[in-house]
Structure 1
C-alpha cells in the first residue's frame, strides 16, 4: 500500500507499520523542549487509502491539536486543564463519578471489577497518562498475564483499563484519554479461559435431589430442579444478598447483617395453574415457563406445598430450612458439593453446570438450536452452542450417521 496523503492537515506524519500506515500528529520540537504536551498523538491506523470521511476526521484532529500548540507558543506557558494525570486518578474517578457505567453496575459485579481495578492501581497507578504508548499497554498486559500464563487475568485488566479510558474520554472529556483509547483497538490479545466442557446429567440431578430430601435439604432439591428443568442460572433461583444501601428494592431483609435479598424466585411469579413468569437476572429478559412440563420442579414443589399446607401467596420460593431465609450463594455451593460427593458426582462437575446440562440434554434430544436459544434466554446462538456440551458424543453420532448412509447398514 502506498503512503496516504491528506492535504491541509498541519503536523500530520505517516508512520509505517506492518501492512498499514499510522496517521500521527507531531508537535513542533522547539515547543516540546519548552514543555508542550502531547508530543505525538496517534490518530488512525490505515490498511488502505483513507475514505473521504476518515480524511476529514484526521484533518480536523490535526487542526485542533495544532491550534492548541500555537496557543501554547503565544502564551509562553502550558496550563494543564483540570483533568486526570495518572492512572490512579483516572480509575478513582471511574469508580466514583455518578455518570460512570461502573457506578451503575450491580453490587457483585462492581465488587469483582474493583478487585481487578485495585490490581491495576497497585502495579501502575502512578504512571502518567501522557507517557502511555502502545508498547506500554503491551508490556502491562504481559506483566498482568504473567507472560501468557494467566491470560484471563491479563484480559480482565486490559478490558477494565480500556473502560476507564473510555470514561475519561467521554465523560471527563480528557484529551490524553482520547489519545490513548484508540491504542486498545490495535491490541490483538488472547483472552484465555477455555470454555468448560462439563455438564451435569439428568441422572445425576435426580440422584442429588433424592439425597437432599433424604438429608432434609428439600429446598436445595427444589433449587436444583428449577436450575435443570428451567435452564436457570443459580442466581435466578437463589437470588443474591446485597447491602441495604444498594438501589434495588426488597422486602426480604437480614437486619443483623444489614443485607437485603433480590432477584430470586418468588411465589408471586408462579400462577395458580403453575405458569412461571420471571425476568432473568443477567439480561433482564422476560420468560414464561409452564411448570407442569417440568416434572422435577413439580415433584419437589408439590412436596413443599404439601408441607406448607398450600401454595404461599408471596415471598421467596427457595429458603434454607434452618433459617427460613434465602440461601447465601457461598453456603449453597459448599453444601451442594458435600451432597454431590455422597452421590459420587465428580468434583469437576459443579452446580453451575446445571444450565449447560439442561441445554446439552435439549440439543442431544434433537431440539432445534434456535428454540433452545429462546428457552435459555440467550441473545446469541453462539452462546447456546457453547453451552451445548457432550461434544465427543455428538461427533461420534455424526460419524455413525455418515457410515450408515455410506454403507446402507445400521451401525452400533
Structure 2
C-alpha cells in the first residue's frame, strides 16, 4: 500500500499493459472464518488525486464492515437504516439470505454488481424511490464507456435485475418499502441485452490448436479441443478454485486457501478414452468417446504416459491447474496470434459445437443429450445460425414439389 494512503486492506497488482488493478482484500483469518466478500475491485486510479480519496473512503468502509462482522462473531447487524446500502449489506450477511446459498463464483459476480449499486446510489432511502429513479439509473448505467462505443445494456439490465432480487429478499426479511418497490419493478419493462449470436467454428479451433502448439501451450490446445469436441463448459474442463470450508483440512491441490476441483482428470478418460463426467451446472452426466475425435487424440498422444496422472489441463508455466482468470487471459493471447477474432470468446466453443451438430443434421434431442442439457430450449439457445434443420426442410419441400410435377392431373 502506498505510504501516503490511509486505506487498510488496499492492494494492487500489475496488468500486462503496465497499469494496475486495485482492490480491497479482507483479512485471511476472517475469510477462513467465513467473511465475505473476500476481495472487492476498486475502479479508481492512483494517479488521480480525487480517486485516491475515494480509494481511502472505500477501504475504510469495507474494513469497518469486516471488523464489525468480526466483533459480532459473524452475526449480521440486525439494524436496517432504510437505504439501498443497508439492504445490500443485509442481503450479503443475513444467514437466511439467498446470497448465502449461492456458489462461491456466483457470489463473486453478485458482489461486483452490488458494489456498483452501493457506489452509485447506496445512500438513497427506499421510502423516497419512485419508478423514475429506476429508469434514470438504467439509462445512466447503459451509457457507452467511451464516445462511439456500444451501449452497455447488459450492465444496466444486470443492475435492475439485482435490485429486483434485493427487494425480493427484503420482502422475505419483512423490511419496509421492499414490497412496494418490488411491485414497481415487476411491472416495469427495461430493454434486455441481446442474446449472443457468435459461435466458435472448426476453423477457429484448428487455427488456435496449431498456434498453441507453436507457442508450447499444449494445455490451451487440449482444453479448447475438448471443449469443442465434447461440448463442455470451460469450468468442466479446466476446473475451478473453491474456498476450503471451515474445519476441513488442506488436502488436494490448494492455492491461496482455495482447493481445485471439478476439472477433468486423467482418470475421467479411462483406458478406452471414453470421457464420463458430471457437469458442474446441473449435475447431469456428459459422456463422449474421444476416440472419435482425431483432433483430441492427436493432442493427448503428445502427453508422455508418466505424466498422465492428476488434472488433465495443467498450466505449463505454473505446473498446476490454471489460477482464476489465467486460462482466459492466456487463451486470448494465443487466439490473437492465431487470427481468431476478438469477438469469438472461449465460451463460444460450446455454442460452436452445438451449431455444427445441427448443421450436420443431428437430431436435436441427441444434441441436447450430448450437451448434458436438461431442457431442449436450452440447447436451442446455443444454436447460433445453424441451417441444418432449415436445409432438411428445404430438401423435403423440393422433393415434394418434384413429386407433385409428376402427378397426373384430372
Q: TM-score, normalised by structure 2?
A: 0.69
Name the SS for the 1:282 alignment partner: coil
Deviation (angstroms), 1:251: 1.0
Q: Is structure 2 residue 105 aligned with structure 1 residue 108?
A: yes
Deviation, structure 1 residue 401: 6.5
Name the Cα RMSD after superposition. 3.1
**Which shows bigger deviation, 279-288 or 349-358?**
279-288
Contact 2:356-2:386 at 8 Å conserved across structures: no
Structure 1 unaligned residues grouped into runs of 5+:
1-80
Matched, 1:343 2:338: yes
| Secondary structure of the corresponding residue to residue 362 of structure 2 | coil
**Structure 1 residues 246 and 261, CA gap change in structure 2 (3 angstroms):** farther
The answer to whether residue 116 in structure 2 is matched with residue 119 in structure 1 is yes
- Alpha-carbon offset, residue 393 of structure 1: 8.4
Q: Secondary structure at the match of 1:374?
A: helix
Q: Judging changes above 3 Å, is the alpha-carbon distance between structure 1 residues 221 and 145 closer, same or farther for their aligned structure 2 residues? A: closer
Q: 1:311 to 1:152 in 2, by over 3 A?
A: closer
1:237 paired residue number = 237
1:199-218 alignment, distance < 5 Å: 199-218=199-218
Note if contact 2:238-2:322 (Cα within 8 Å) is conserved in structure 1: yes
Residue 226 in 1 paired to residue 252 in 2?
Answer: no
The answer for the alignment partner of 1:92 in structure 2 is 89
Give the structure with higher Rg (CA).
Answer: 1
Distance 2:312 2:374 in 1: 27
1:296 is aligned to 295
- 2:348 paired with 1:353: yes
Which consecutive residues of structure 2, in runs of 5 or more, have no partner in the other structure?
A: 1-77, 145-149, 405-410
Aligned residue in 1 for 2:168: 166
Shift of 1:247: 9.5
Matches of 1:247 and 1:237 in 2, distance apart? 28
Paired residues in the alignment total 321
Partner of 1:26: none
Give 1:94 deviation, angstroms. 0.4
State the Cα distance separating 1:318 from its structure 2 match.
0.7
Query: Could you tell me how far apart the structure 2 residues matched to 1:163 and 1:224 are?
Result: 35
Is the CA contact (8 Å cut-off) linking 1:155 and 1:191 kept in structure 2? yes
Q: Distance in 2 between matches of 1:339 and 1:200?
A: 15
Alignment of structure 1 residues 140-219 onto 2, 5 Å:
140-146=137-143, 149-170=151-172, 172-192=173-193, 194-219=194-219
SS, match of residue 190 in structure 2: coil
Is 1:261 aligned to 2:254, yes or no?
A: no
Distance 1:325 1:142, change over 3 A: same
Give the Cα–Cα distance (whole angstroms) in 1 for the partners of residues 399 and 335 of structure 2: 39
Q: Secondary structure of 2:325's match? A: helix
Conserved? CA contact 1:209–1:221, under 8 Å: yes
| SS across alignment from 1:303 | coil
Aligned pair in 2 of structure 1 residues 237, 246: CA closer, same or farther (>3 Å)? Answer: farther
Structure 2 SS opposite 1:385: helix
Deviation sequence 1:77-119 (CA, Å, 0-9, x none): xxxx965511111110101112212122223322222121112
2:362 match: 367
Find the aligned partners of 1:387 and 1:117 in 2 and give their Cα distance: 29
Report the CA distance between 1:243 and its aligned residue.
Answer: 4.6
